[in-house]
Structure 1
Amino acid sequence: MPPKSVAELLLAGAGGQDDPIFDPIDHEMNLTSKRAWNMMQEEAESFHRYFQNKKLKDPSFVYAVQLDVEEEMTNFFWADEKMLVDYGDFGDVVCFDTTYRLNKDWRPLVLFFGINNHKQILVFGAGFLYDNTAQSLKWILRTFIKAMSGKTPKTILSDKNAILSEVISSELPETQHRLCTWQIYQNALKHLNEVVVSSDSFSSDLCGCFLHLDEEDFVNSWKVMLDTYSLWENEWLRGVFEEREKWALPYSKHIFSADIETAFLSECSITSLKKYVKHESHILQFVKHFGRVVNDWRYKELEANYDMGQHVPRLMGDVIMLKQVREIYTPIIFKTFHQEYEISLNIVINQCIDAVSSVEYKVSTYGEVRHYTVLYSLEDDLVACSCMKFESGGILCSHALKVLDYRNIKIVPSRYILKRWTRDARA
């Protein structure tokens, strides 16, 4: 970030950049009420002192504090330089995790997550909200966006919360808002703890329900789960299913999510934070553990980048399109594309409807009844499928690939290669 923007955010009445005293207190957005939750003795001071030391060692470290009506430190936000850089590269989709605030035995942690071009978790920022009002949520969202130089995400995912939904709508009016299936999954494990304990397969079956892009597949998978574990009478699951249009993938295919839920569902390190957020643990013990978890994720990215430079995915045969994207995509994205390409070999074109400037194709998998509609523009080679896999995940689907091949287009048009999935995503 430019030093000036950091100063404008955090130097409030401290005398400017040359002043040795760094004041992160947000004097413009004090709460109008007393903070909702009590802190442990000297907790706020420990936090503030720790962040001050971090700032002295690393001038790029960002933190901010919100005061309540009695001028007591209440809410905290922090992000290091790497988080700011990561957001600049991959901040198009953000998960705003507030689930820790729902448990009174834990400190009210909030986290901003995303994923990189290897579909690995990135942390963009973190905070503690010792107040549960809309004013506090507005403050931390506003502080987060300011810290990120005003860049807003295309899509933000959050937990089910009416107040939070209103705050996101008012603070990020141009950002698409969805309920996060990963957070719903976490809540399901809590509400259905007896089933989780008694069955080794329930968690994976529940997770599988969240990964279907087709509505029919999703509904059938959900019904099978209810049958298998005798959960038809479960009120919590019934309520979740009634709101499926707000979170299930088949109903939000038009919203770009970078397939972020899949990455979260396969990552267990996030849940390991829980035992350190408990009140009996010292606050600095959590902050240091949190730093270790973040560093572990960053090391995984270094390993993925190294492996990517050392190994090239193998190809069976000499396929021009696969050779093209192998050099462009990261290995995990190439693997996904390769799977779609293989599926496209079993796609058949059932019908072609010509128009003045476009052609509409009805396609289906060989031997299956279900069909998809692919629209191809004759003027600019645009291709769009009714499954909307590209719109939601940024990778062309098997149906679109079939039509491109049918039109004798042997390489992926550049408009369908998102930079965020490429080897040079950070360039």
Structure 2
Amino acid sequence: MDVDYNGYSNFEESHDTNFDKLKYLEHREGDGRAIYNYFCRMKLTDPNLFYLFDIDDDGHLKNVFWADSRPRIAYNYFNDTVTIDTNCLANKYEIPLMSFVGINHHGHSVLLGCGFLGHESVDYFVWIFKAWLQCMLGRPPHVITDQCKPLQIAVARVFPHARHCYSLQYIMQRVPEKLGGLQGYGPIRRKLYNAVYESLKIVEFESSWADMIKCHGLVDNKWLQTLYKDRHLWVPVYLKDAFFIGLIPTKENRALRRF
């Protein structure tokens, strides 16, 4: 099965239901062909459309990546930092979509490519990342992801020289889920936010974090232990030497967003 720059050929959609569905894209009969036909039609109006299909030897569809002219052009200008958005995967939505998102000169999000992921494993993430790099033909950017371990490993393999950090927004969104059931959740949350957003020096963060842990008896909290261990990957005060074009919130740009 040949897979090339423009897409693929000789695609035969398999109807075998005896394979491990966890390692392939789950789709209804005809969906794979419909996706392929759609890209073929789009190619007629947008010759710069890029798409790749990852198909195994038995014809099972594993992964899909695509980007039309607009993301490919945008990447030439806004390639400093890219967020790899896996919210659809993390939230177990019906469509296993992941996307590459940058920030333009107006501070607005700009799409830089999309993919359907058949399985959340290192090899599958690596395939998607390599397809994206092949599409963009550019230098790897700084990369922002969530804390998914297979995702981290794949980033290190495909973007070995890129600065990698975690999405602060994603981490803070999980605070109610991870800490909401604790006694004194309100004060804990305030101290956590103060430590993360108000600290201007590393020593301030360390002091505020230690105070939060000690005052509320959180020394055995596994989630907070993991966050502290990886603090250099998500706490703004540790990331001052990297340019993240506003994707890592600080005290200053949090204040601006209130107005």
- For Structure 1 versus Structure 2, the TM-score category normalised by the shorter chain is 0.7 to 0.9
Q: Post-superposition shift, 1:90? A: 0.8
Q: Find the counterpart in structure 2 of residue 114 from structure 1.
A: 102
Q: Find the counterpart in structure 2 of residue 143 from structure 1.
A: 131
Out of 233, 247, 255, the position equivalent to 1:260 is 247
1:94–1:153 Cα contact (<8 Å) kept? no
Largest Rg, 1 or 2: 1
Out of 67, 86, 98, the position equivalent to 2:74 is 86
| Partner secondary structure for residue 132 of structure 2 | helix
Q: Which runs of 5+ in 2 are unaligned?
A: 12-19
Q: Find the counterpart in structure 1 of residue 5 from structure 2.
A: 9
CA distance in 1, matches of 2:119, 2:168: 25
Q: Post-superposition shift, 1:147? A: 0.9
TM-score, length basis structure 1: 0.47
Q: Find the counterpart in structure 2 of residue 236 from structure 1.
A: 223
1:75–1:129 Cα contact (<8 Å) kept? yes
Q: Post-superposition shift, 1:144? A: 0.5
2:24–2:61 Cα contact (<8 Å) kept? no
1:211–1:249 Cα contact (<8 Å) kept? no
CA distance in 2, matches of 1:203, 1:84: 41
Q: Find the counterpart in structure 1 of residue 60 from structure 2.
A: 72
| Partner secondary structure for residue 245 of structure 1 | helix
Structure 2 CA distance for partners of 1:189 and 1:57, relative to 1, 3 Å: farther
Structure 2 CA distance for partners of 1:69 and 1:13, relative to 1, 3 Å: closer
1:94–1:156 Cα contact (<8 Å) kept? yes
1:39 matched to 2:45? The reply is no
| Partner secondary structure for residue 178 of structure 1 | strand
Out of 171, 184, 193, the position equivalent to 2:158 is 171
Structure 2 CA distance for partners of 1:238 and 1:62, relative to 1, 3 Å: same
- Seq. identity, %: 24
| Partner secondary structure for residue 106 of structure 2 | coil
Aligned-partner residue type, residue 135 of structure 2: A
TM-score, length basis structure 2: 0.73
Aligned-partner residue type, residue 96 of structure 2: P
| Partner secondary structure for residue 138 of structure 1 | helix
Aligned-partner residue type, residue 101 of structure 1: L
Q: Post-superposition shift, 1:104? A: 3.5
CA distance in 1, matches of 2:153, 2:144: 13
How many corresponding residue pairs? 238
Aligned-partner residue type, residue 5 of structure 2: L
2:100–2:114 Cα contact (<8 Å) kept? yes
What is the aligned-residue RMSD (CA, Å)? 3.7
CA distance in 1, matches of 2:45, 2:127: 26
Q: Post-superposition shift, 1:164? A: 2.4
CA distance in 2, matches of 1:50, 1:110: 19
Structure 2 CA distance for partners of 1:111 and 1:11, relative to 1, 3 Å: closer
CA distance in 2, matches of 1:259, 1:112: 16
Structure 2 CA distance for partners of 1:208 and 1:51, relative to 1, 3 Å: farther
Structure 2 CA distance for partners of 1:122 and 1:193, relative to 1, 3 Å: farther
2:63–2:124 Cα contact (<8 Å) kept? yes
Q: Find the counterpart in structure 2 of residue 152 from structure 1.
A: 139
Deviations, residues 392-413 of structure 1 (Å, cap 9, x unaligned): xxxxxxxxxxxxxxxxxxxxxx
Structure 2 CA distance for partners of 1:221 and 1:47, relative to 1, 3 Å: farther
Q: Find the counterpart in structure 2 of residue 376 from structure 1.
A: none
Aligned-partner residue type, residue 214 of structure 1: K
Q: Find the counterpart in structure 2 of residue 250 from structure 1.
A: 237
Q: Find the counterpart in structure 2 of residue 209 from structure 1.
A: 196
Structure 2 CA distance for partners of 1:189 and 1:77, relative to 1, 3 Å: farther
Q: Post-superposition shift, 1:223? A: 6.0
| Partner secondary structure for residue 253 of structure 1 | coil
Structure 2 CA distance for partners of 1:144 and 1:231, relative to 1, 3 Å: farther
Q: Post-superposition shift, 1:140? A: 0.7
Q: Find the counterpart in structure 2 of residue 127 from structure 1.
A: 115
| Partner secondary structure for residue 260 of structure 1 | coil
| Partner secondary structure for residue 258 of structure 1 | coil
- Aligned pairs for 1:18-417 (under 5 A) are 36=23, 39-42=26-29, 43-148=31-136, 150-192=137-179, 206=193, 209-210=196-197, 212-219=199-206, 222=209, 232=218, 234-262=221-249
Q: Post-superposition shift, 1:71? A: 1.3
Q: Post-superposition shift, 1:252? A: 3.0
Q: Post-superposition shift, 1:141? A: 0.5
Deviations, residues 217-270 of structure 1 (Å, cap 9, x unaligned): 434554677799x5836432332123212222222333332231239xx99xxx
1:181–1:247 Cα contact (<8 Å) kept? yes
Q: Which runs of 5+ in 1 are unaligned?
A: 1-6, 15-22, 24-32, 268-334, 336-427
